[in-house]
Amino acid sequence: MTKPLLTINDMSITFTSPDEADIEAVRQVDLTLTPGKTLALVGESGCGKSVTARAVLRLLDKNAKIPTGEILFDTGSGAVDIAKLKSDSLAMRALRGAEISMIFQEPMSSLSPVHTIGDQVDEIIILHDRLNKKQARERTVSLLDQVGVPGARDRANAYPFELSGGLRQRAMIAMALACTPKLLIADEPTTALDVTTQAQILDLLRQLQDDFGMAMLFITHDLGVVAEIADDIAVMYLGDVVEQGDVFDVFRAPKHPYTQALMNSVPRLMRKAERQRLTPIKGTVPSPKDRPVGCAFTSRCPHAFAPCPTVRPERTQIGADHVARCHLLTHVREEAMA
């Protein structure tokens, strides 16, 4: 079995506020990512996807704490527990950018508007590889070319505002890959793009993953994108990972009512002839302040029964590479055993 690159064990994330009780935005999450593979984090808005990803880079807001758990990252010469590193420590800064980088939905949040894209990529290469400006520019041009920026040598002199959304996204990907990270975190990188550009960027990421062998933690609320890009999926609801496993296994036989509801709320081309009816998930995600002690999905679950609001379901193994937290799984098992 391949050694994991990233292992998150029992990680919780809380936010403090001066006049309210702490908010537990992420609750005892376990995730594993192996080199060369893509793990998609999915779920509705506010379920904790971005906060989980930002914890890996220690880019959480100042009022955030990681009170329990570990985030083990394999540096090649041993594992480092990122949860124990200070955000501005030398060790964390060495990991950020060099071993782990991130791309965002909105490239302007990581590209400087007052520097050309070439200068911005050069700067990372110079810092990381100690090349001179001329050598760095050669690498920048080849990187921009590799991520599909046409006329890369000339375009390197462009400012971000002079590029289309798709080209800005490609420039940001070039920046993120400038020091060949082992882990790329992608936070909804295609959500703001039209479908054709979205498909091109997904293709590009897959191809770069083959070329560079990096692992990807891919955040999206789009199950179509998951099917395109991911090997594994973790479904989050209100800070809990309710189901996770191999994408094929989870898509073929989703076990958690939330995963089932997510899948029933997206159109499928195959069902068109049957005049499919989409079933939106009733209600909205409650605030983490109102999360029940038991299963997070209780208030919206069509199958909720006695233990759900008060007892947190255990992680139940369904297949070799498929787990879910739902009382229905253990309930059925107990009945079957009786």
Ligand X SMILES: Nc1ncnc2c1ncn2[C@@H]1O[C@H](COP(=O)(O)OP(=O)(O)OP(=O)(O)O)[C@@H](O)[C@H]1O
Comparing CB distances to ligand X, the nearer of 23 and 204 is 23
Site for ligand X contains 205 (CB under 6 A)? no
Site for ligand X contains 4 (CB under 6 A)? no
Q: Which stretch binds ligand X (CB under 6 A): 48-56, 143-151, 210-218, 308-316?
A: 48-56
Position among 2, 45, 132, 196 found at the interface with ligand X (CB under 6 A): 45
- Positions 79 through 108 that interact with ligand X (CB under 6 A): none
Site for ligand X contains 46 (CB under 6 A)? yes
Site for ligand X contains 318 (CB under 6 A)? no
Site for ligand X contains 288 (CB under 6 A)? yes
Amino acid sitting at position 60: L
Half-sphere exposure of 101 (CA within 13 A, CB side): 18
Torsion of CA 226, 175, 52, 42, to 10 degrees: -10
**Which two three-digit tokens encode residue 159?**
């400012």
Comparing CB distances to ligand X, the nearer of 149 and 234 is 234
Signed CA dihedral, 112, 64, 235, 267: sign only: negative
Which residue, chain included where needed, has tokens 């920026």?
149
Give the shortest CB-326-to-ligand X separation in angstroms. 20
- C-alpha closest to that of 180 among 212, 148, 210: 212
Give the shortest CB-13-to-ligand X separation in angstroms. 8
Q: Which stretch binds ligand X (CB under 6 A): 47-55, 78-86, 109-117, 125-133?
A: 47-55
- C-alpha closest to that of 217 among 183, 258, 169: 183
Comparing CB distances to ligand X, the nearer of 51 and 66 is 51
Site for ligand X contains 23 (CB under 6 A)? yes
Position among 50, 120, 259, 316 found at the interface with ligand X (CB under 6 A): 50
Position among 5, 51, 235, 324 found at the interface with ligand X (CB under 6 A): 51
Position among 5, 40, 42, 49 found at the interface with ligand X (CB under 6 A): 49
Position among 15, 237, 258, 297 found at the interface with ligand X (CB under 6 A): 15
Site for ligand X contains 61 (CB under 6 A)? yes
Comparing CB distances to ligand X, the nearer of 48 and 118 is 48
Site for ligand X contains 48 (CB under 6 A)? yes
- Positions 216 through 245 that interact with ligand X (CB under 6 A): 221
Site for ligand X contains 297 (CB under 6 A)? no
Site for ligand X contains 19 (CB under 6 A)? no
Instruction: Summarize as ranges the residues that interact with ligand X (CB under 6 A).
Output: 15, 23, 25, 43, 45-51, 61, 63, 221, 288
